[in-house]
């Protein structure tokens, strides 16, 4: 049986691939990956950008009566852009951040597997020497489950 944790991450990865201009977003995502630890900035080829990496985090379980539990989980979404000019523009990066925030809010229950998923904070790293930027969105998810089926 698939755990709720796995169901949440699998659903988010599938839906993140749908971030496209045709779908009403500012950006069309070329690739979505799931990682335990995010890769180095230059590990992907140019065809992979814009790239979303979902990095799994930690969880804290609060046990409840009747064999139930509420789990608070953290994860990070890395939204990678690689520019074709001298640098990635702030406007382009901010539009991509907006897309990821809208994506999280749109799918904030991960198809009923989560109680709620939120973006807790955003930070930006820019490497102008390789025309590269990444927005790191720290996210939190909460889900309710039977102790016997995490």
Torsional class of 23: left (φ above 0), alpha (ψ -120 to 50), beta (otherwise): alpha
Which CATH number does 4-146 carry? Answer: 3.30.2000.10
Q: Is this model's pTM higher than 0.85 or not? A: yes
pLDDT in tens, 89-138: 888 899 999 999 999 999 999 999 999 999 999 999 887 777 788 899 99
The predicted pLDDT at position 46 comes to 66
Residue entry with tokens 């201009």? 21
Domain boundaries, the chain: 4-146
pLDDT in tens, 44-99: 666 788 999 999 999 999 999 999 999 999 999 999 988 765 567 888 899 999 99
CA distance 6 to 143: 12
């Amino acid at each position: 049986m698939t755990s709720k944790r796995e169901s949440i991450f699998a659903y988010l990865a599938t839906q993140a691939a749908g971030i496209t201009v045709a779908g009403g977003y500012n950006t069309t995502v070329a690739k979505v990956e799931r990682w335990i630890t995010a890769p180095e900035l230059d590990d992907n080829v140019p065809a992979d950008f814009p790239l979303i990496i979902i990095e799994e985090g930690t969880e804290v379980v609060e046990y409840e009566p009747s064999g139930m539990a509420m789990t608070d989980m953290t994860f990070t979404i890395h939204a990678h852009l690689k520019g074709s000019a001298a640098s990635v523009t702030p406007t382009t990066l901010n539009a991509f951040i907006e897309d990821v925030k809208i994506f999280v809010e749109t799918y904030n229950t991960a198809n009923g597997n989560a109680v709620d998923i939120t973006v807790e904070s955003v930070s930006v790293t820019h490497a102008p020497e390789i025309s590269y930027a990444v927005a790191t969105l720290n996210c939190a998810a909460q889900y309710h489950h039977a102790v016997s089926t995490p």
